[in-house]
Amino acid sequence: MLSKSLFRLGLSCPNKIYFKNNKAYHNASVDDPFLEALASGGFQIEEYARRHYPEGEFIEADYTEREKAIALTQEALQRDGVFFEAAFAANGLFALTDIVEKRGNVLKMIEVKSKSFDPEKREFLNKPGNQCLSGWKDYLFDLAFQTEVASRNYPDFQIESYLFLVDKTKSATVTGLSQMIRLPKKGGDVRKDVVVAFDSLNETGVSLMHLENMTDIIEGIRAENIAYSNVQKRGFQQLIKDFSKIYKEKSYPNYPTEPSVCKKCEFKTNSLVDEPGKKSGFAKCFIQQHGLVDSDFSKTFSFSLHAGRVPSSAPVFMEQLSADDVKAESVIPERMEQKHRRWVQLDKEIKKDTTPFLMKDELREEFASHVYPLHFIDFESGLGPLPPLKGIRPYQHIPFQFSHHILHSDGRVEHKTQVILADVGQFPNYDFVRELKKSVGITGTIFRYHNYENTVLKMVRDQLSHSTEPDKAELIEFINSITRDSKPARKGERDMVDLQKMIYEFYYDPITKGGNSIKDYLPALLNSSKFLQDKYSQPIKNVAVSSINDADGNRVWVEFENGTVKDPYKNLTPIFPEGTTTDDFSGLVDLDDVKNGGAALVAYAYLQYVDITEDERKAIIEALYRYCELDTLAMVMIYEGLREICVTPP
């Protein structure tokens, strides 16, 4: 039967239904319900939502026992009540619904989502009302699918459709809410193994959930008056027919490639082509539809162009694009903007020029404005849906870790501080700022990478303003001194310098293929800078680099493989003890990669919500220390590499 998960997968690309059902194709996504529920806080929200219906009953069947679940649901719906994980099936379709409330001949289909929502901004569709907004399209079509299956299964019932969401406008009215719903073991059943520390919902204070009636919108989708997106415009009923056929016939449907989708395809190998033991769905689509051969996959695809989508009609490879195609501009003023970086990337691709682009004079002037000692900081944060402290809203950042490196004027690199504040149930935000204030002192330029640190500190500033902390004025003054606001415009006297923005405005390396993250530019600079190679191919004790995590100073950060510098992130010790997760986390992934939580977010969730052993807790914390250390050391390396290129005489 076509499940709602396969239906949702097909919405992004129908070819994925075929690849998902063919085990020969490599799937790079983490297919682990435990990790997904843990990282997003979904297990907490689902249980929290169920506690709003104390009379509710589980349909006691395993996820794999579909026929049993269907039979038990049929039996349960003979009477009024509230049922969790009810199963519906009709015409080869199958769906489980989080909460179903039956009263007479009315069925309320209630889908629980850990997504936050502002009830005063009921924005689910575009202005004409004929297309789902991007942030809601998957949720709406998911609920429409469930409603459709239930309606076919029980045609005599009146079906109402609801989303049960986290209300981000509300604040916790009790302290300790985050620890009232926990998991007792790794890899447990996130439905059955949850441990709840309250008997009545009243003990949790004011509810943080909001029930939104979506019936009108869902009926509009089912009637094919509302499209999924501007790309996927086929009607809902037609989609069900098409996807059911793909699933039933198990044949490759050959739906057209779409650059924005193919760029993120999970059914591709590292080489993009078939590898021993795993086939590439990505390669199959481009071979089938564009006549590519294996050697073509070493070329740069047009969807790799910096900053945004290319049209569906665009050529497959970037070298076939023109500046007019992508609104690129070759005349660069004092600093690059998006249109200039696109032109530089495209020009170098067409000319097969692999050398970096550098605005040397402008970057030299930027370096001259920096005041030693130079401070490089990086944060890691949790994002739990249930706040640990009274007065805190859901999904507010919980900064629990930072690393701090200092680059001195004489070239010494000091790993000054590393902090993790992640005791079970701890609200670390104010102590976090105190530790940061103490670490960066009162002199020297501070560097961040992109906007994250600025955003987190401003959020803590807002929390402090409503707190009773005795030193809140001092802490707010510190935060203001190193941050900036856009509305109204304000910049602290020691406002952090965005290292990513420096790169964005003055430097481009073709190796990055348009990327701008630390994970893009560290390997790029290490491979182009002989200075960095010579320095960091030695034990750090020999080159005046300290490490809190390597007191002996024997760590060597630059290692070569086939003439290329190996990515240091791939040499980090895996964060999780063996058997903790099904995925191969070779080090930690970026926090913006939250499809399955991101490893740092998962790590924090383990520390907070799962009853792990002390040895496991220690292993996770040590891995987080090593990862965050590399983030700030990577910033130092990038800075040193750029400075060497533009400041040192030839």
> Is residue 547 assigned to a domain?
no
Domain co-membership, 263 together with 210: no
Q: How many domains does the chain have?
A: 4
User: pLDDT value at position 593?
Assistant: 36
Domain co-membership, 90 together with 188: yes
Overall size of the chain counted in residues = 650
Which of 249, 277, 305 finishes a domain? 249
Domain co-membership, 486 together with 526: no
Q: Is the peptide bond before 259 cis (omega within 30 degrees of 0)?
A: no
User: pLDDT value at position 598?
Assistant: 63
| Residue ranges making up the domain that contains 606 | 510-539+556-647
Which of 319, 353, 387 finishes a domain? 353
Domain co-membership, 145 together with 70: yes
Domain co-membership, 56 together with 200: yes
> Is residue 128 assigned to a domain?
yes
Q: Give me the average pLDDT of each 10-residue run along the chain (650 residues).
A: 95 96 88 73 92 95 90 97 97 97 98 93 93 94 98 97 97 96 78 89 97 98 92 87 96 93 93 96 97 96 85 89 82 92 93 94 95 97 90 93 97 98 95 98 97 96 96 98 95 98 96 90 95 97 97 96 91 62 37 44 87 87 92 97 80
The CATH number covering residue 14 comes to 3.90.320
> Is residue 479 assigned to a domain?
yes
- β-pairing verdict for 413-420 and 93-103: unpaired
pTM over 0.85: yes
> Is residue 360 assigned to a domain?
no
The Cα angle at residue 25 between residues 281 and 231, in degrees rounded to 5: 35
Encoded tokens for 1: 């039967």
Domain co-membership, 271 together with 388: no
User: pLDDT value at position 551?
Assistant: 93
User: Would you give the end-to-end CA distance of the chain in angstroms?
Assistant: 67
> Is residue 521 assigned to a domain?
yes
Domain co-membership, 159 together with 301: no
Cβ atoms within 10 Å of 313's Cβ, excluding its own: 7
Which of 318, 353, 388 finishes a domain? 353
User: pLDDT value at position 232?
Assistant: 73
> Is residue 640 assigned to a domain?
yes
> Is residue 201 assigned to a domain?
yes
The Cα angle at residue 288 between residues 284 and 289, in degrees rounded to 5: 120
Domain co-membership, 532 together with 632: yes
> Is residue 263 assigned to a domain?
yes
How far apart are the C-alpha atoms of 279 and 268, rounded to whole Å? 8
Domain co-membership, 277 together with 241: no
How far apart are the C-alpha atoms of 277 and 505, rounded to whole Å? 43
User: pLDDT value at position 595?
Assistant: 31
Domain co-membership, 374 together with 445: yes
**554, 533 Cβ separation under 8 angstroms:** no
Beta-strand runs (E) in 479-618: 484-485, 490-491, 497-498, 507-508, 560-561, 564-565
Residue 455, judged by CB atoms within 10 A of its CB (0-12, 13-18, 19+), counts as middle
User: pLDDT value at position 580?
Assistant: 45
Domain co-membership, 454 together with 326: no
Domain co-membership, 167 together with 292: no
How far apart are the C-alpha atoms of 9 and 15, rounded to whole Å? 9
